[in-house]
Structure 1
């Protein structure tokens, strides 16, 4: 992926744009100088929690044979994506909070945005695959093991990557060949599409169409597939004769619905809302949901809502206590 990115970025148009200036300045929350130390400790604690929580979740699902199921295959893949996703942005945010120089190079900004979009887009499609997994488990339980075999699970994962890799190479290249104005200050904590488009000194109509097309592919279409899956799932749950059975089945889906609401809700607001001065400040805050809060809450949500995970975590913690 890195080789593809470098090859594409090293075109004449890209070199010409890059040579015009040294890089961008990530403003972040520089207007709050007295809170920089507090924000550094806050983001550092959150980042440590993300690494620890998701790392422990991966370890538990890999080492416990009882969790060797399609659902937990997707969950540990999701946790791995969350670790990579936050590692693309948070370390640079932490550096900018403790140093005066808040610049990021032209190539660095492009690479950061590319991997953020790649991992975020993969997560969108993975969440849709997880909804299909729950649909098969609840609506076709007798055929679940036959349909959701390891080959299909791996196929979903590699298909998500195969779609995202070329799509975002083109999107980032198209965006970074735009001419930028004299001001290279990005009003955000990281390099993202909406604040970068605000700096362009050219007609951005085509770029906006590209952004909306990508948002439709990775946000709207998967969300519609998830919605249709859960309509069928809820319909099947309501037909169950046992009240306890309905509660048990719904509890297995509620954690997934919570994560979907947080991730898709914040991403749709940022990438599909019209641009204005008021919405820019809102987007800077909302973007923290899918960059920081969702990766932090994911292992907590899935651990608390899944009995099998709580049992495995109990075994792990008791083993650590004895050692």
Structure 2
């Protein structure tokens, strides 16, 4: 199987020097329109698909991002591996603004989003005990090191609904009682949907601030976040540019089973499945549904 790498990121992360045959393509999905067109091309012999999570010009809030359509669209383009690149706040002194964190766990506090491709008419339960792919995460960690980025390997990401930032009380609870490392608004339900679609998923969290818990930094300063974001985008492009050489053009089955997540997940008997929903699942669950 050939590797096709999908990058879900913000402005600047999809603008990669050296992308050959670059073309913005529209992808129709039964879950609605994705956030934007998808930039496709080849980098270092590896097929790449870049999707602006919020749309070019930042038109989607974290709650309105069409997460299901985004994952479905990438699956339809043949993507095998998805890397999320997103901004976050830090709950740890040693995880400073400008650093990157390779996330390996999530606490999902979102509530206003569709979180599954499945439901009435086809019930399925996938495991997200380990919601990111260790193989893909290690590749991201290595790429960050090669790019000279200060990177932390492993961390728990608190996914909040937003769009407002945390209160001081919330920030202190997430940090002190819950043991979270970073906070953001977009990796859930993205990671859950990637698992349902049998895609390997890794999360690169780019720290912009200390949220509101830090006594020397006070509340989140949006102007400071934007300034840090610009520097992080440069680092993010450096990380992404190194991924093709590390992944290679040829891909073996995932050793952790991400690409076989649906093997035993679907519980609804074949004769009880909703034909309309089955049609909508043609891309994300086509392997298992035949």
Query: What TM-score, normalized by structure 2, do the two folds share?
Result: 0.27
Structure that is richer in helix per residue: 1
Structure that is richer in strand per residue: 2
Query: What TM-score, normalized by structure 1, do the two folds share?
Result: 0.25
Question: Bigger radius of gyration, 1 or 2?
Answer: 1
